[in-house]
């Protein structure tokens, strides 16, 4: 059963990918890319990677197609044929692919429990993380404690991307931007507004649940941040950007993005203050397990804040472009 | 035997190559970014496949089982996914600016616009 | 005064002159006074080092260590002093000459001219007193760069093209071969210091040494061994004082001086004799002498002919060095002096002709002897000095070179030296002869006013021409140094 | 506090970045950035001193020992590269204010400094870490911020250059990710030292070979090694002047560090040299880079572009040093790493000054600059001399070691080719000097003769220029550190 599911998912993935490469309709390509994300999330699920699946669903099937669609709305959905580089591409792809295939021949079999990967470092996480960290979700333990520094890097990457997008699109000229009207913010979309109002609170609530439940089940700061942002994005889609800006000030969101990283970084520094190494939470509370627990909650909070803020920044900036692009079709 | 042991990796490689092909061959910038996405996602699939242990369940400790998937690749890929979306967002923002500056998102037009065909 | 302080002074004075001239900027008299003053002081300083050098007193100065085993350091030794003495003396003379020339010719950018002139002499001092190859290399390169703006002084497209050739060949050979040879020497010998008798360990393979020698001889492009000689004719676009001092004395002599020094103190005569490449390079030098003479014969442009003559005469010095006999080295070293005096006079004359009569081609010189008798007489004397016949000092160097060739039993080279002497007669002597005894058919107006170049230039010409003659009587000033050096 | 130096090195700029974002005022954020960079420089100097005195420093992040946690591991090699990056960064950012005020709008300056700090922290993180996946994460931090920084250039080409670099950079990073995945699959570990211990057992497998190839290609894309250099000239010539100075002096150096780290430490030099014909590959590609880069540079009229191609050539020299793969060869590479950072930073900063006053930097525009901007032009001339490898400049030292290394290993022709390469560089440097000093300014330009560059730019430029001269004659520090690093890497210790 597992095998059939596996083969089916992979085949679907392949078909989707090939179709995306083949089609000239960018809209179809983006939608299919979303489906590709969803399919890979299902695949991750079937591999037992629940956290990854959760994240991939939010990113690959949510945020990423959303951003691509806004881009498409400005840039147009038709793609021109341009075959001149195909040969070079085929050659590169052929060589790289052949190299990869040869490499696989001497790899440990798929799923084999005595592959080197499962014998060296990972066993300690499974065997000792309960004693050392005290939470059941091993992925969270590794993510937030054993390899917490990678995760700090990850948050900084997100922060960097947000800042990059901001510097590219968000800071054009110093003139006050004109208020932007969301196309949906018309009274006729009454149904939407009602549904929106009903849906948004549970979404935010769910985000909080994901944020703090990450230690026990799948979830954590990143996923929670994305969901939280989605709540606001939905709100802006229904009520218009300026309605959101009334609730959350843009400067505040930008500051919050920085604050999230700072929280994470400072918690790490507390480790040094408590006489241990950077990002060592053991000294934060009475006993080391409690300390770890506290530390993880704190840094996950940092992650959530930064991710949510950056997602909101990126989305707002893109939608502002969209609105402006509609007003001036060919601004060049 | 070989097939069942490795087919997973082979499909992953095909996916990667499809993505890479799109990045190199296609002149539309958005399509390039989609290709980049597929390329990266396939690498994620590869990592997660590496982490698979036959019969193992999700690495959330419980009394019911003692066999778990390897959590380390999961952690790495969580990070990698985030890196991926960060790159995508930045790339798309760049595309929007390029569109404003050049009036097109086709590589040919851009090169022609700068006079370097 | 402390002798090492003298050494420091010898190196520092030209730099002082450089700075002084730059600061004097547009004030012409001040600028020239500074140049002359520093020139006089420099000559005095170098002359004061004469006795210590002769007595083998160790006068040295170490600046700084750049890398382990590689340092900027200076030491006075007889051969270097010989070179420094010639260069510093001729600097004064040339400055005098240049004052007349530049004023007479109304050249632009004179500040830059005099400043870089001083800097070039500073480099020559650095080369002459270098304690090791690295120091020598540094000053060798700076000399190339400092002289480039002098070569392209005119600023015309032709001057720039000439300058490019100049720079590319000199930099190319020095970085491409010389530097590699130095690096090789460092790795093989572990030192770069000039040591009497050579630095290489006895077990070094002759093939490697051959390679190094070839790299050295070609690497020192300033010695203008064919096929790396093109820069010298190209550099003739420079104003004449530049050609005179730099391309008869400072730059080219720096080249052959390096070759002499490398042969004597890096390889050592014994090692040199044992290397197969030495013989080949000897023949190359011989061919260079001969070919350059033949080319010189066909040049109508006066400066071009002098340039090819220089290439040919430099070949003598290289040949002397490669003979690996003490007479050969002595002849080579002596020829540095004699050729310097002779050739600088010739260039001075060429410049004087340009300034006074506005003529550059040899075929235009018919009958000029009556208009410029002093100049053309000096030209005649200097020609004899280059050819190597009495009553000039050139006799000595050619004699020693011949002796060295015989000592080395290179009979074919003996014949060649004879032959090329004949050739040098053929390309030099017709020039004054034409001036004094115009050919049939060209009518010369009955009465010609004597009109020479400005007086400072004429003083300079007289000094060097008389020098050529005096050197026949008093070669010992230099030959004592040479014997102390070998 | 001294025991925490390794992490402070990275975490200082990393935490400073969001703080800088909150500062909002551009002057203030500039000052803050300078102070942070200076502090990082002090930390790196202390680290270098500590490593030289006591040997390798290890630091377990989160208190978890390697290979379970991530560890920072500082030996002479990383300490040296950290020192280079922080030193150059401090000089560059100190010079940044006027140039940035001229080239960027007021609203983007704070963002610029924040991105700069992020890029800085990313580069330091790559160098300091002893964990291969952590390398990937910090590589992405530095890359993403670099893309954004390049896109801040004034010309629209900056956008296209940034996009080009983003695509190639992401492919490169993903290649590295694939390689790391293979390594993990075959060994089960991500720690560099642990990998080095476990790889010999499986090194005959094609998977390890493929991992090696992918990591190599990925790094070389980032390094802009010929023929993967196509993104570099565009990126360097279109980015804001300060960004160019920073990237040219640091980013390629860090990529080169990674190359050394992976080939020598992780895979082991014996494996690296036997698995692929790496020696001839590096030497050939290096030479090709030297000649193609220099030859193309000669024909550029935009000076930034000229120097960008010159960087491609200089990277070639560094690769040749690795290719020779002896202690002296590696030492030459590490020396050139330092010297090239000094000279390129000086040159690009001087160009920033030119761009500030004249508004561009083509060969035509700098005509006669020796008279109107003597200090700036002097910096260009001395920096150029160092680039060519004139004696008494820093450039000479590394060329000398490279030549010595090739002769020492019996590659005589290589030595000749290396010097032939520097002759090519002499040609384009000479074009600069000739335009600046020996050509008359274009008519019409004389009307508004530009003054000297602002002091804020000039002083850091000249500090770098003087460093070029100082390290051309007093080489005990670089020579001793690189000698220790090279000996240690090639088997002086386990």
Mean pLDDT of the A72-89 span = 80
The reported pLDDT for the residue numbered C193 is 87
Mean pLDDT of the A260-269 span = 92
pLDDT in tens, D158-217: 999 999 999 999 999 999 999 999 999 999 999 999 999 999 888 888 889 999 999 999
pLDDT band for position D443 (cuts 50, 70, 90)? low
Alpha-carbon distance of C396 to C342, in angstroms, equals: 13
Our CA-based measurement puts residue A322 at a distance from the nearest CA of chain D, in whole angstroms, of 19
pLDDT in tens, C369-424: 778 888 888 888 899 888 888 888 888 888 888 888 888 888 888 888 888 888 98
The reported pLDDT for the residue numbered D270 is 85
Substitution target in A132, A142, A143, A278 with the highest count of D β-carbons within 10 Å is A278
Alpha-carbon distance of C435 to C444, in angstroms, equals: 11
The reported pLDDT for the residue numbered A184 is 47
Substitution target in D61, D142, D217 with the highest count of A β-carbons within 10 Å is D61
Cβ–Cβ below 8 Å for B91 and D185? no
Alpha-carbon distance of A225 to A301, in angstroms, equals: 9
pLDDT in tens, D54-87: 889 999 998 888 889 999 999 999 999 999 999 9
Of B30, B52, B82, the CB nearest to A71: B30
List C-alpha distances in Å: C423 to C150, C289, C384, C395, C416.
31, 10, 13, 16, 10
Residue pair C87/C338 in contact by the 8 Å Cβ criterion: no
Whether D contacts C, i.e. 3 or more CB pairs less than 8 A apart, is: yes
Our CA-based measurement puts residue D159 at a distance from the nearest CA of chain B, in whole angstroms, of 6
Residue pair D116/D33 in contact by the 8 Å Cβ criterion: yes
Handedness of CA C436, C440, C443, C447 (dihedral sign): positive
* Residues of chain C neighbouring D483 (CB-CB closer than 8 A): none
The reported pLDDT for the residue numbered A329 is 45
pLDDT band for position D416 (cuts 50, 70, 90)? confident
Tokens matching residue D379: 């910096």
Question: Which DSSP state fits A138?
Answer: H
Alpha-carbon distance of D274 to D282, in angstroms, equals: 13
Q: How many domains does chain D have?
A: 1
Whether D291 has a pLDDT exceeding 90, the answer reads yes
Alpha-carbon distance of D96 to D107, in angstroms, equals: 16
Whether B94 has a pLDDT exceeding 60, the answer reads yes
Asked whether residue D57 is assigned to any structural domain, the reply reads no
Could you list the beta-strand ranges (E) of D34-86. 57-60, 71-74
What chain D residue is nearest to A292 in terms of C-alpha separation? Answer: D62
Mean pLDDT of the C53-68 span = 77
The pTM (predicted TM-score) of the whole model is 0.88
Handedness of CA D270, D84, D339, D170 (dihedral sign): positive
The reported pLDDT for the residue numbered D493 is 44
List chains touching B (3+ CB pairs under 8 A): A, D
Burial code of A92-104, b = ≥16 C-beta within 10 A, e = fewer?
Answer: bbeebbebbbebb
Substitution target in B46, B48, B83 with the highest count of D β-carbons within 10 Å is B83
Whether A330 has a pLDDT exceeding 70, the answer reads no
Of C152, C183, C211, the CB nearest to D404: C183
HSE toward the beta carbon, residue C350, CA cutoff 13 A: 31
Q: How many domains does chain C have?
A: 1
Mean pLDDT of the C79-93 span = 88
Whether A185 has a pLDDT exceeding 70, the answer reads no
Alpha-carbon distance of D93 to D113, in angstroms, equals: 9
Least confident of A222-231, B104-113, C55-64: C55-64
Domains and CATH numbers, chain B: 2-113 (1.10.287.3510)
Select from C144, C141, C307, C312 the least CA-distant residue to C237: C307
Asked whether residue D199 is assigned to any structural domain, the reply reads no
Strand partners of residue C60: C75
Residue pair C432/C379 in contact by the 8 Å Cβ criterion: yes
The reported pLDDT for the residue numbered C429 is 87
Tell me the residues of chain C between 427 and 456 that have a Cβ less than 8 Å away from chain D: none
Asked whether residue D378 is assigned to any structural domain, the reply reads yes
- What is the residue range of D349's domain? 292-494
Mean pLDDT of the D405-430 span = 88
- What is the residue range of C98's domain? 3-485
The reported pLDDT for the residue numbered D365 is 84
Least confident of C64-78, D171-185, D468-482: C64-78
Cβ pairs bridging A and B (under 8 Å): 293
The reported pLDDT for the residue numbered C186 is 87
Alpha-carbon distance of D187 to A191, in angstroms, equals: 57
Instruction: Measure the CA angle with vertex C270, ends C266 and C272; round to 5°.
Output: 60
Select from C379, C389, C355 the least CA-distant residue to C433: C379
User: Coil, helix or strand for A328?
Assistant: coil
């Amino acid at each position: 059963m597992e095998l059939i599911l596996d083969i089916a998912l992979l085949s679907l993935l392949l078909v989707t990918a090939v179709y995306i490469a083949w089609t000239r309709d960018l809209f179809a390509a983006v939608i299919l890319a979303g489906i590709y994300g969803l399919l890979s999330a299902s695949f991750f699920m079937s591999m037992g990677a629940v956290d990854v699946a959760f994240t991939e669903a939010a990113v690959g099937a949510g945020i990423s197609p959303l951003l691509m669609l806004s881009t498409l709305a400005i840039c147009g959905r038709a793609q021109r044929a341009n075959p001149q580089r195909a040969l070079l591409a085929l050659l590169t792809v052929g060589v790289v692919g052949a190299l990869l295939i040869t490499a696989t021949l001497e790899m440990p079999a798929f799923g084999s429990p005595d592959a080197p990967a499962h014998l060296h470092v990972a066993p300690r996480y499974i065997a000792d993380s309960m004693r050392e960290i005290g939470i059941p979700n091993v992925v969270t333990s590794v993510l937030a404690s054993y390899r917490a520094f990678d995760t700090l890097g990850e948050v900084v990457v997100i922060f960097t991307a947000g800042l990059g997008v901001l510097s590219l699109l968000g800071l054009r000229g110093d003139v006050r931007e004109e208020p932007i009207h969301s196309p949906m913010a018309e009274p006729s979309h009454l149904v939407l507004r009602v549904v929106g109002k009903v849906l948004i609170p549970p979404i935010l609530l769910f985000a909080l649940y994901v944020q703090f439940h990450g230690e026990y089940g799948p979830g954590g700061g990143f996923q929670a941040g994305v969901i939280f942002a989605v709540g606001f994005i939905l709100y802006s889609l229904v009520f218009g950007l300026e309605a959101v800006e009334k609730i959350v000030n843009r400067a505040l969101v930008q500051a919050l993005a920085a604050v999230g990283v700072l929280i994470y970084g400072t918690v790490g520094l507390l480790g040094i203050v408590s006489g241990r190494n950077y990002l060592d939470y053991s000294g934060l509370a009475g006993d080391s397990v409690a300390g770890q627990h506290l530390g993880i909650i704190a840094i996950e909070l940092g992650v959530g804040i930064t991710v949510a803020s950056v997602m909101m920044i990126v989305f707002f900036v893109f939608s502002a472009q969209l609105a402006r692009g509609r007003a001036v079709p060919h601004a060049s | 035997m070989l097939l069942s042991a490795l087919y997973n990796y082979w499909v992953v490689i095909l996916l990667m190559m499809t993505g890479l092909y799109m990045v190199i061959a296609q002149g539309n910038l958005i399509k390039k970014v989609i290709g980049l996405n597929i390329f990266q996602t396939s690498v994620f699939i590869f990592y997660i496949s590496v982490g698979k242990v036959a019969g193992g369940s999700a690495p959330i400790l419980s009394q019911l089982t003692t066999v778990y998937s390897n959590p380390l690749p999961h952690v790495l890929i969580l990070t990698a996914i985030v890196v991926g979306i960060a790159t995508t967002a930045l790339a798309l923002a760049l595309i929007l600016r390029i569109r404003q500056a050049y009036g097109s998102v086709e590589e040919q037009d851009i090169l022609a616009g700068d006079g370097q065909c | 005064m402390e002798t090492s302080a003298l050494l420091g002074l010898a190196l520092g004075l030209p730099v002082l002159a450089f700075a002084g001239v730059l600061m004097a900027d547009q004030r012409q008299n001040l600028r020239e006074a500074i140049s002359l003053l520093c020139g006089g002081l420099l000559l005095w300083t170098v002359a004061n080092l004469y006795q210590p050098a002769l007595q083998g007193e160790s006068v040295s100065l170490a600046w700084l260590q750049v890398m382990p085993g590689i340092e900027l350091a200076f030491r006075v030794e007889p051969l270097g002093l010989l070179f420094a003495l010639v260069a510093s003396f001729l600097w004064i003379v040339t400055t005098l000459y240049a004052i007349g020339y530049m004023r007479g010719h109304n050249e632009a950018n004179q500040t830059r001219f005099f400043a870089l002139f001083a800097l070039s002499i500073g480099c020559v001092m650095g080369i002459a007193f270098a304690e090791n190859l690295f120091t020598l290399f540094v000053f060798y390169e700076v000399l190339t760069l400092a002289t480039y703006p002098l070569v392209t002084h005119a600023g015309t497209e032709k001057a720039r093209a000439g300058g490019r050739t100049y720079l590319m060949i000199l930099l190319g050979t020095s970085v491409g071969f010389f530097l590699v040879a130095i690096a090789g020497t460092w790795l093989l010998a572990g030192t770069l210091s000039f040591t009497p008798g050579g630095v290489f360990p006895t077990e070094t393979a002759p093939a490697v040494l051959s390679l190094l020698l070839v790299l050295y001889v070609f690497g020192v492009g300033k010695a203008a061994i064919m096929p790396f000689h093109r820069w010298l004719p190209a550099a003739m676009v420079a104003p004449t004082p530049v050609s005179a001092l730099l391309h008869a004395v400072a730059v080219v002599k720096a080249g052959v001086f390096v070759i002499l020094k490398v042969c004597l103190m890096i390889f050592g005569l014994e090692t040199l004799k044992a290397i197969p490449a030495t013989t080949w390079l000897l023949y190359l030098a011989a061919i260079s002498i001969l070919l350059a003479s033949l080319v010189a014969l066909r040049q109508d442009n006066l400066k071009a002919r002098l340039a090819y003559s220089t290439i040919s005469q430099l070949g003598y010095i290289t040949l002397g060095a490669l003979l690996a006999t003490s007479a050969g080295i002595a002849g080579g070293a002596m020829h540095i002096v004699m050729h310097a005096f002779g050739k600088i006079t010739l260039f001075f004359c060429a410049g004087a002709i340009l300034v006074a009569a506005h003529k550059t081609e040899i075929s235009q010189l018919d009958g000029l002897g009556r208009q410029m008798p002093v100049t053309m007489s000096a030209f005649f004397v200097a020609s004899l000095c280059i050819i190597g016949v009495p009553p000039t000092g050139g006799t000595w160097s050619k004699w020693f070179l011949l002796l060295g060739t015989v000592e080395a039993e290179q009979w074919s080279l003996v014949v060649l030296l004879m032959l090329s002497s004949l050739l040098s007669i053929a390309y030099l002597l017709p020039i004054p002869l034409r001036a004094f005894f115009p050919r049939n058919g060209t009518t010369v107006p009955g009465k010609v006013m004597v009109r020479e170049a400005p007086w400072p230039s004429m003083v300079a010409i007289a000094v060097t021409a008389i020098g050529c003659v005096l050197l026949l009587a008093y070669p010992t000033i230099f030959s004592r140094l040479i014997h102390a050096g070998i | 506090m001294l025991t925490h130096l390794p992490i402070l090195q990275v975490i200082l700029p990393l935490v400073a970045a969001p703080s800088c974002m909150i500062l909002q005022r551009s002057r203030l954020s500039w000052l803050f950035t300078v102070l942070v960079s200076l502090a990082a420089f002090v930390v790196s100097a202390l680290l270098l001193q500590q490593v030289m005195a006591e040997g390798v420093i290890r630091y377990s992040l989160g208190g978890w020992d390697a290979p379970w946690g991530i560890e920072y591991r500082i030996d002479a090699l990383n300490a040296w590269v950290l020192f280079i990056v922080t030193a150059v960064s401090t000089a560059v950012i100190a010079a940044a204010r006027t140039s940035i005020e001229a080239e960027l709008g007021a609203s983007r300056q704070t963002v610029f400094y924040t991105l700069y700090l992020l890029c800085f922290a990313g580069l330091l993180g790559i160098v300091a870490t002893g964990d291969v996946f952590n390398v990937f994460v910090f590589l992405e931090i530095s890359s993403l911020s670099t893309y954004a920084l390049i896109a801040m250039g004034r010309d629209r080409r900056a956008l296209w250059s940034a996009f080009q670099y983003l695509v190639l950079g992401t492919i490169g990073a993903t290649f590295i990710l694939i390689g790391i995945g293979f390594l993990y699959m075959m060994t089960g570990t991500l720690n560099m030292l642990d990998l080095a211990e476990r790889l010999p057992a499986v090194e005959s497998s094609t998977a390890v070979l493929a991992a090696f190839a992918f990591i190599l290609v990925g790094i070389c894309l980032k390094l802009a090694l010929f023929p993967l250099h196509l993104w570099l000239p565009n990126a360097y010539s279109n980015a804001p002047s300060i960004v160019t100075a920073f990237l040219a002096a640091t980013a390629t150096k860090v990529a080169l560090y990674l190359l050394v780290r992976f080939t020598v430490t992780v895979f082991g030099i014996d494996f690296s040299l036997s698995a692929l014909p790496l020696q001839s590959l590096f030497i050939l590609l290096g030479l090709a880079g030297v000649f193609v880069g220099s030859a193309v540079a000669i024909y550029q009229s935009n000076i930034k572009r000229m120097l960008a191609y010159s960087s491609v050539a200089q990277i070639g020299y560094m690769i040749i040093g690795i290719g020779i793969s002896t202690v002296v060869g590696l030492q030459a590479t590490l020396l050139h790493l330092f010297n090239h950072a000094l000279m390129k930073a000086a040159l690009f900063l001087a160009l920033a000054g030119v761009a500030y006053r004249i508004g561009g930097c083509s060969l035509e525009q700098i005509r006669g600059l020796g008279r109107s901007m003597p200090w700036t032009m002097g910096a260009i001339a001395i920096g150029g001399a160092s680039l060519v490898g004139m004696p008494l400049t820093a450039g000479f030292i590394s060329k000398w070691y490279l030549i010595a290394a090739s002769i020492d290993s019996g590659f005589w022709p290589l030595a000749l080719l290396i010097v032939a390469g520097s002759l090519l560089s002499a040609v384009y440097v000479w074009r600069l000097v000739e335009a600046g000093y020996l050509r008359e300014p274009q008519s019409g330009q004389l009307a508004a003769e530009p003054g000297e560059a602002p002091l804020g730019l000039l002083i850091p430029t000249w500090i770098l220029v003087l460093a070029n001269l100082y390290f051309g004659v007093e080489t005990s520090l670089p020579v001793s550190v690189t000698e220790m690093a090279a000996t240690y890497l090639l088997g002086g210790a386990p």
